[in-house]
Amino acid sequence: MKVIREWKTMLIPYEQAVEELKVKLKAIRNQYRELNEYSPIEFVTGRVKKISSIIEKAERRNIPLDNIEEEMEDIAGLRIMCQFIDDIYEVVNLLYDRSGKDFTVLYEKDYIKNPKESGYKSYHVIIKYPVQTALGTKEILVELQIRTLAMNFWAIIEHSLSYKYKSKIPEDIRERLRNSALAATRLDEEMTEISKEVRNAQLMFEEKSNTVRDI
C-alpha cells in the first residue's frame, strides 16, 4: 500500500506531462491565430487525476495498484475543445501527424461515432509521452479527450450529477440526460450547417470581388 508521499512522488511526472502538453497544444492554437487562420483548437484544459479517484477506479476496474501506471491511461488527462465536429477530426489528424515526434499515439476511442450508453460523446486518443525526470526519461500514458463545446457542456453537467448521486443517477434523470445529449448533437449539427453556409457565402463574396477586380 502506497503512502501519500509515494503517491505524490509518482504523480510528479504526470503533472509535468500535463503542463508540457498544455503548452504544446496552446502553441498550435496560437500559431493558427498568428497566421490569421482558423484554429480547430478553441481551448485546452488539463488535470492529473486525484489520488482518491485513482484508487476508486483501480478498485472498480480490478487493476492491482502496482500496475496502475501501465493499465490506467487517464491519470494524466487533457481536454481539447473545438467549435465544430469536423475540427475534432482535424485535431486527431494533427495528433497522428506529430506521432513519433513529441509523443506516440497508441490508440483511440471514438465515442462520437459510438456514444456511451449515458449519451457521452467525445474522441479519446491515448498517447505515450516521454517526460525528462532527474532519474532519466519516463514514458507515461496520457488521455486526450477531444470534444465540441456542446459535448463538453453536457459532459461537465452529467459528471457533476454523477458525482452528486454517487454514480447512481435516477432513471428519469438519466433519460433526460440522454435526451439532452441528443439536443447537444442537434446543436452541433446545426452549427456545422450554419458554418458551412457562412463559408460558402464568404467564398461567393470573394469570387464576386475578384471578378469585379478583373474587369
Q: Give the whole-angstrom CA distance, residue 46 versus residue 37.
A: 25
Question: What grid cell was written down for 52?
Answer: 482518491
- Please state, in angstroms and rounded to a whole number, the distance separating the CA atoms of residues 193 and 67: 46
Q: Is 62 left (phi over 0), alpha (psi -120 to 50) or beta?
A: left
Determine the Cα–Cα distance for residues 81 and 161; give it in Å rounded to an integer.
21
Out of 109, 128, 138, 178, which residue is the one contacting ligand 0O2 (CB under 6 A)? 109
Among 8, 33, 159, 199, binds ligand 0O2 (CB under 6 A): 159
- Residue 116 contacts ligand 0O2 per CB under 6 A: yes
Which of 103, 120, 123, 129 lies at the binding interface for ligand 0O2 (CB under 6 A)?
120
* Interface with ligand 0O2, residue 74, by CB under 6 A: yes
The answer to whether 188 contacts ligand 0O2 (rule: CB under 6 A) is no
Single residue of 99, 104, 118, 192 touching ligand 0O2 by CB under 6 A: 118
Residue 87 CB contacts under 8 Å (≥ 6 apart), including other chains: 40, 41, 42, 148
Of the pair 49, 88, the CB lying nearest ligand 0O2 is at 49
Residue (49 or 81) nearer to ligand 0O2, CB: 49
19 is catalytic: no
Contact positions with ligand 0O2 (CB under 6 A) in 31-70: 49, 53, 57, 61
Catalytic residue among 117, 143, 189, 206: 143
The two counts, helices (H) then strands (E), for the chain are: 6, 5
Sheet holding 43-48, edge to edge: 43-48, 76-82, 136-148, 123-133, 104-110
Least distance between ligand 0O2 and beta carbon 39 (Å): 23
All residues at 6 or more sequence positions from 95 whose CB lies less than 8 Å from its CB, including other chains: 105, 125, 127, 144
Q: Which residues bind ligand 0O2 (CB under 6 A)?
A: 49, 53, 57, 61, 74, 109, 116, 118, 120, 124, 155, 158-159
Q: Which residues are designated catalytic?
A: 143
